[in-house]
């Protein structure tokens, strides 16, 4: 934040070339977006936001040969929001979407809440009815400030035309600083049409917010705090790093890698933390939690010290809180003070972004080099004994096999988005990601329909990169209209549809907990032909496969196709995602299925009530 303010002050000293120019409010909005470096806007027009759409057209017209501000029109406003989210997640920049009032704005509630839940920086600009009509139930009026206030990091109702610039700049500042999140700006139509003088500088007075952010940005670990941390680490024999999305948000992956290399500590990640540490590393145990790897969860059971970095002990990780890491002391590093002790009591904590905190800890390590070799050997044995596995003898295509082959082809270097469901968990389990920001999924909200539009945003933010949407037949139906957006703008996203003819994850729960009563989840009667739909939308590659022998060759052709590509794989509808820790249960109750050995299978269980694993060291 301090760096951000210094940059703002430096800019302020240089007079903006358009300062003193007479503009409409809409023109000011677009100019501030340009000043903030926005190159792509996702959105759907309408009466209340029309002045700003017109301003974009005129701004681009005035650019001549210079690069335009790209405007991408989706099938729905929800799609626009997820495109902005995919753009932000994959690039680290603030994503922007622009919608009209009423239904345009209410259709944006889900992506805003999704971004808030997963700490994604986006700015939504909504049109609103003119100020004089507000509160009269005017045509396409909705109380967006009230609706969005409980969903967003911050909401502005911009009723003062003299504060347009300051409000837009402040929205970007709030979205990207501290713990990132979505900011909504509701702009009445007459404010967009009002005329004023462009200042080219200024932000709103937000003293309380800025003070809190600056305190976190300037937070330093004193010698005593560093000493306390390393006392815990030195007393440990079985340490584990539990890394979350905060590692990615704070660009701390390299700092985490240095910390891991220095102390050679195994790493588990949350769903949102995937890619924050190279999954191909020997020290990576991949994802923990409800559908985490068995060896990751067993390592949590066995560890005696957990260092939580940018993670929040959510219910999919620590479902049975009192039994989570039962033998471990806990240190917690997070940018958000409200997360410390919210779910799990900790023995040490520090409020700072992950990059700053890890860097300071490394500097204070001195010559400390504890020997954790016995623990690493134990963890390596866990990975070997309890590796991911699936039914390799089935005549039906197994989704795990498809993703294993895809992992071989992409080598951990592709951008991947997912919908929500079984395919999402299989992607998290079986795909590799060598760098941060390559994996994009709806974590906390679990929003079906996220994958396809998020992939579009990621591709536009990363031209030339390989971007794949791994989706399910239930999820992709939610925003199926965005297939046309891909071909309309010739965005070369690869859409991999794992079709199990139903809502697989819900059906899995119905199998396990509801005596196979498939209420509302059986899609075998649906008539959708996804290949014909893709062809109708202009896909040059639209292929369906149904046999395991077709998987590898089809995937190679699919990934190698130059434009947008659609591959539908008919997968086994009876498959379950394993491991699985049932809701509200602890890792001791983890179900590993028929193909992943559990500790009970080999007698490697610690159920005697003793503190820590016995006989391992």
Give the number of other CB atoms < 10 A from CB of residue 171.
29
What would the two tokens of residue 417 be?
A: 């988005």
- Look up 257 and say whether it is catalytic: no
Instruction: For residue 168, give the nearest of 150, 191, 141 by alpha carbon.
Output: 191
Q: Are 566 and 557 in contact (CB under 8 A)?
A: no
- Kindly name the residue from 290, 505, 580, 590 that is annotated as catalytic: 505
- Look up 505 and say whether it is catalytic: yes
Q: Are 551 and 545 in contact (CB under 8 A)?
A: yes
- Look up 384 and say whether it is catalytic: no
- Phi then psi for 113, rounded to 5 degrees? -65, -40
Distance of alpha carbon 348 from alpha carbon 16, whole angstroms: 47
- Look up 77 and say whether it is catalytic: yes
Q: Are 351 and 335 in contact (CB under 8 A)?
A: yes
Pairing mode, strands 22-24 and 195-197: antiparallel
- Kindly name the residue from 140, 163, 237, 550 that is annotated as catalytic: 140
Distance of alpha carbon 91 from alpha carbon 329, whole angstroms: 35
- Kindly name the residue from 6, 11, 14, 139 that is annotated as catalytic: 139
- Kindly name the residue from 23, 31, 42, 77 that is annotated as catalytic: 77
Residue in the structure block whose two tokens are 């997640």 = 89
- Look up 482 and say whether it is catalytic: no
Instruction: For residue 243, give the nearest of 282, 213, 280, 284 by alpha carbon.
Output: 284
DSSP code at position 22: E
Contacts 24+ apart (CB under 8 A), 288-291: 288/242, 288/317, 289/316, 289/317, 289/581, 290/316, 290/317, 290/319, 290/580, 290/581, 290/583, 291/425, 291/428, 291/429, 291/577, 291/578, 291/579, 291/580, 291/581
Distance of alpha carbon 215 from alpha carbon 1, whole angstroms: 9
- Kindly name the residue from 93, 153, 189, 494 that is annotated as catalytic: 189
**Catalytically active residues, by annotation:** 77, 139-140, 189, 505
């Amino acid at each position: 934040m301090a760096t951000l303010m210094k940059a703002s002050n430096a800019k302020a000293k240089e007079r903006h070339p358009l300062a003193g120019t007479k503009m409409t409010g809409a023109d000011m909005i677009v100019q501030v977006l340009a000043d903030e470096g926005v190159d792509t806007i996702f959105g759907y027009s309408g009466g209340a936001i029309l002045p700003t759409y017109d301003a974009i057209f005129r701004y681009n017209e005035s650019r001549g040969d210079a690069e335009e501000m790209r405007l991408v029109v989706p099938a729905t406003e929800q799609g626009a929001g997820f495109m902005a989210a995919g753009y932000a997640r994959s690039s680290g920049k603030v994503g922007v979407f622009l919608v009209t009032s009423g239904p345009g704005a209410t259709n944006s509630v889900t992506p805003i809440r999704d971004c808030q839940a997963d700490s994604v920086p986006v700015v939504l600009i909504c049109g609103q009815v003119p100020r004089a009509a507000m509160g009269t139930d005017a045509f396409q009026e909705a109380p967006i400030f009230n609706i969005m206030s409980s969903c967003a990091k911050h909401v502005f109702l911009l009723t003062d035309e003299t504060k347009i610039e300051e409000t837009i700049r402040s929205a970007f500042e709030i979205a990207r600083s501290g713990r990132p999140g979505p900011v909504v700006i509701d702009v009445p139509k007459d404010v967009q049409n009002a005329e004023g003088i462009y200042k080219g500088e200024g932000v709103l007075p937000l003293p309380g917010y800025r003070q809190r952010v600056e305190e976190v940005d300037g937070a330093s670990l004193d010698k005593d705090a560093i000493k306390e941390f390393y006392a815990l680490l030195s007393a440990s024999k079985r340490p584990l790093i539990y890394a979350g999305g905060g590692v990615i948000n704070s660009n701390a992956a390299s700092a985490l890698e240095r910390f891991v290399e220095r102390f050679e500590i195994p790493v588990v990640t949350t769903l949102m933390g995937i890619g924050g540490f190279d999954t191909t590393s020997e020290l990576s145990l991949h994802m923990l939690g409800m559908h985490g790897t068995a060896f990751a969860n067993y390592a949590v059971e066995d560890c005696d010290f957990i260092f939580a970095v940018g993670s929040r002990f959510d219910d999919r990780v620590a479902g049975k809180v009192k039994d989570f890491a039962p033998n471990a002391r806990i240190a917690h590093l997070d940018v958000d003070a409200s997360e410390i002790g919210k779910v799990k009591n900790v023995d040490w904590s520090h409020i700072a972004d992950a990059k700053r905190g890890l860097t300071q800890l490394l500097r204070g390590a001195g010559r400390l080099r504890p020997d954790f070799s016995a623990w690493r050997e134990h963890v390596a044995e866990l990975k070997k004994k309890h590796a991911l596995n699936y039914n390799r003898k089935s005549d039906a295509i197994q989704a795990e096999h498809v993703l294993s082959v895809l992992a071989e082809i992409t080598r951990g270097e592709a951008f991947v988005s997912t919908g929500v469901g079984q395919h999402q968990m299989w992607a998290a389990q079986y795909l590799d990601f060598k760098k941060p920001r390559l994996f994009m999924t709806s974590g906390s909200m679990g929003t079906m329909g996220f994958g396809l539009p998020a992939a579009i945003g990621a591709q536009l933010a990363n031209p030339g990169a390989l971007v794949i949407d791994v989706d399910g037949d239930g999820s992709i139906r939610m925003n199926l209209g965005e297939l046309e957006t891909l071909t309309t703008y010739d965005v070369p996203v690869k859409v991999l549809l794992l079709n199990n003819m139903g809502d697989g994850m819900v059906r899995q729960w119905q199998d396990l907990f509801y005596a196979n009563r498939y209420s509302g989840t059986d899609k075998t009667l649906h008539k959708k032909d996804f290949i014909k739909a893709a062809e109708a939308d202009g896909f040059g590659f639209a292929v369906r496969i149904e046999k395991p022998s077709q998987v590898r060759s089809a995937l190679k052709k699919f990934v190698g196709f130059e434009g947008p590509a659609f591959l539908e794989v008919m997968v086994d509808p009876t498959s379950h995602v394993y491991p699985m820790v049932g809701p509200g249960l602890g890792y001791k109750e983890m179900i590993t299925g028929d193909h992943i050995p559990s500790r009970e299978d080999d007698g490697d269980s610690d159920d005697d009530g003793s503190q820590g694993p016995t006989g391992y060291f």
